[in-house]
Amino acid sequence: MARILVIAEHDGGCLNPSTAKCVACALDIPNPEIHVAVFAAAGGDIATAAAKLHGVRSVIQIDNAANERPLASVLAPQVAALADGFTHVLGPSTTFGKDLMPRVAALLGVNQLSDIMSVEGEREFKRPIYAGNAIVTVEAPADVPVVATVRAASYKAVDEDNSAPVEPRSVSAELPTHTRYISTQAGSSDRPDLQTAAKVVSGGRALGSSDNFELIFKLADAMGAAVGASRAAVDAGYVPNELQVGQTGKIIAPELYLAIGISGAIQHLTGIKDAGTIVAINKDSEAPIFEVADVGLVGDLFNVVPELTEALKS
């Protein structure tokens, strides 16, 4: 039997959808017994939400004032202490999980497996390397826990049809004070979330300014879509970093992805490999984005985008 510990991601109040995707990955491991750990200051509501996830045996709720913010150096010793008796410890391949899980693995004396995209056996997994240009099948060593992150875009969230028991627990671990949270600057959230949206409209360097980027926001609003961007658009300051899609940004899997004025560099394409339908609008018919686009339109975005927005509104 595989005893799997999934580390829940949350913002202090709500469970992040990446957790339901980690549970989906855990369910692919043969003979799984899945427990979800919620580390928070007061994690009652989050634990209740986690208990609804299909396939979860129990939720372990570890409340501690020190867990108010997800600081890796504070959480890792607690996760490592809790990991005793588990064969697998999984976290999401989000910035939360990427920060935390390697620290956990190192404390447990094992390597971490990054970005599981499919489960091939109890200790065998596929993961992307070289910005997704190669897929490697890796086998984790026997007799030590598998510590891994799950590539959220490869999994569908499990249903919420469960009511697993919630078990409050305390873990004894020495918590450092050398790392202190100061502040978070988060984007406004009245649009759909980029990581979970069914539709995403992204703009690239071609937009030329943050004022012009409004064209992308208007189109996205007309479609009920989330907004994304290429690295070039973020670097140029047209939009904030949290909108970046790609190898160093978000890896997403919407049903529909519109790439507007984006050339299609491999680092960008890594982020959209799992999209259902890719639409490209670019004035250069030779742009590499057209090689992966399901629907391509060669044209000047400054004409095409307003026309498309108007057509969708009416």
Ligand X SMILES: Cc1cc2nc3c(=O)[nH]c(=O)nc-3n(C[C@H](O)[C@H](O)[C@H](O)COP(=O)(O)OP(=O)(O)OC[C@H]3O[C@@H](n4cnc5c(N)ncnc54)[C@H](O)[C@@H]3O)c2cc1C
Residues interacting with ligand X, by CB under 6 A? Answer: 204-206, 230-233, 244-249, 261-263, 265, 267-268, 282-284, 287, 300-302
- Which residues on neighbouring strands pair with residue 149, listed in sequence order? 91
Among the residue ranges 44-52, 200-208, 210-218, 238-246, the one whose residues contact other proteins (CB under 8 A): 238-246
Candidate residues 3, 98, 191, 283; the one interacting with other proteins per rule CB under 8 A: 98
| Identity of the residue, 61 or 244, whose beta carbon is nearer to ligand X in the bound complex | 244
Candidate residues 110, 157, 173, 175; the one interacting with other proteins per rule CB under 8 A: 110
| Residue 213, SS3 per DSSP | coil
**Residue 195 engages other proteins in binding (rule: CB under 8 A):** yes
Q: How far is the CB of 288 from ligand X (least distance, A)?
A: 8
- d(Cα 122, Cα 103) in Å, to the nearest integer? 23
Q: How far is the CB of 157 from ligand X (least distance, A)?
A: 24
Candidate residues 31, 68, 133, 313; the one interacting with other proteins per rule CB under 8 A: 133
91 touches, from ligand X, other proteins, none (C-beta below 5 to 8 Å by class): none
For 120, 131, 227, 280, 292, the CA distances from 258, given in Å and listed in that order, are: 32, 21, 10, 6, 12
| Identity of the residue, 162 or 288, whose beta carbon is nearer to other proteins in the bound complex | 288
Q: How far is the CB of 307 from ligand X (least distance, A)?
A: 13
| Identity of the residue, 51 or 305, whose beta carbon is nearer to other proteins in the bound complex | 305
| Identity of the residue, 54 or 292, whose beta carbon is nearer to other proteins in the bound complex | 292
**Residue 300 engages other proteins in binding (rule: CB under 8 A):** no
DSSP H or E stretch at residue 115: strand 112-116
CB 229 within 8 A of CB 285: no
| Identity of the residue, 80 or 259, whose beta carbon is nearer to ligand X in the bound complex | 259
Residue type, 74: V
- Which residues on neighbouring strands pair with residue 127, listed in sequence order? 136
**Residue 139 engages other proteins in binding (rule: CB under 8 A):** yes
Taking alpha carbons only, the member of 73, 81, 126, 125 closest to residue 102 is 73
How many Cα atoms sit within 13 Å of 168 on the Cβ side?
Answer: 8
User: 285 CB contacts (<8 Å, ≥6 apart)?
Assistant: 298
| Identity of the residue, 22 or 281, whose beta carbon is nearer to other proteins in the bound complex | 281
Query: Cα 182 to the chain's mean position, in Å?
Result: 23
Site for other proteins in 256-285 (CB under 8 A): 256, 266-267, 273, 276-279, 281
Site for other proteins in 29-68 (CB under 8 A): none
Q: Nearest 5 degrees, angle CA 248-CA 132-CA 249?
A: 15
Residues in the chain: 314
- d(Cα 105, Cα 12) in Å, to the nearest integer? 24
